[in-house]
Chains A and B, each alone.
Chain A
């Protein structure tokens, strides 16, 4: 894994308890505001994080996971990258999991596809023992 392009980590939280989902999303919103994202984007980002971290609580088992935020912004772009990693059973069929309505947990199956639509980049790597969702929001800075 290349560390050169990961930007610097600005926040990290363990996801083991339902209250961590609340902490992660509210902190993400605060950070997004601090980095200059508008209120609609703050809400989009926080909502996407809420969906992905809830999945950790629901599916990853007692080991839980971790949610990390990275600031990869430069002069021209605001770029926030999120990593949510867990060490649970993994997603059996990632392609299916990204479809609207697919759920093995009796949910709406709206979480992953919804989060993907809210973000600009979205990627899932999963096998038994490790699931990693990486997603970014990228906005051009308004100068002046």
Chain B
């Protein structure tokens, strides 16, 4: 069971539509991280609107995936956490989902675009600075 990853300009969009086994969740993480790296996407939206059950394992993998993508350089949002899932995760213990979330995919894309624009502004601002001594070859 592979989850498709769509590309919308500089944003990657992925939507988990079925309940996944642990192995499939790990495969998903691997696919997403590799795709973010390969495409150098500036944003990643993980839509979990269709998930009715998110247990501690799935929550951790989604969190980890978001952190990995962020580490590579992408902005990340998790979209559409169901109210029953939010209740369950919070009741189970310390916030098991920690990634930034939005109500739905549409809002997620808006947030990502805003953040990407902000980042481009920052880059334009310290462009001179950056070109003087770059630690890496960007």
- What is A's interface to B at a CB cutoff of 8 Å? 18-19, 21-22, 25-26, 29, 39-40, 42-44, 46-47, 50-51, 54, 57, 100, 107-108, 110-111, 113-115, 117-118
Contact = CB atoms under 8 A, between A and B. Distances in A.
B22 to A, nearest CB: 5
Contacts of B84: 39-40, 42-44
Given A18-B22, A18-B23, A26-B19, A117 B91 contact: yes
B103 interface: no
A114 to B, nearest CB: 3
Interface of B: 19-23, 52-57, 60, 82-85, 87-88, 91-94, 96
A32 to B, nearest CB: 11
B60 A108 contact: yes
A47 B21 contact: no
Given A47-B92, A110-B96, 14 more contacts: A19-B21, A29-B52, A39-B84, A40-B84, A43-B87, A43-B88, A50-B57, A51-B56, A54-B55, A100-B93, A108-B56, A110-B93, A113-B92, A114-B93
Given A110-B93, A110-B96, A46 B53 contact: yes
Contacts of A51: 55-56
A114 B19 contact: no
10 contacts: A18-B23, A43-B53, A43-B88, A46-B53, A54-B22, A107-B56, A114-B56, A114-B91, A114-B93, A114-B96
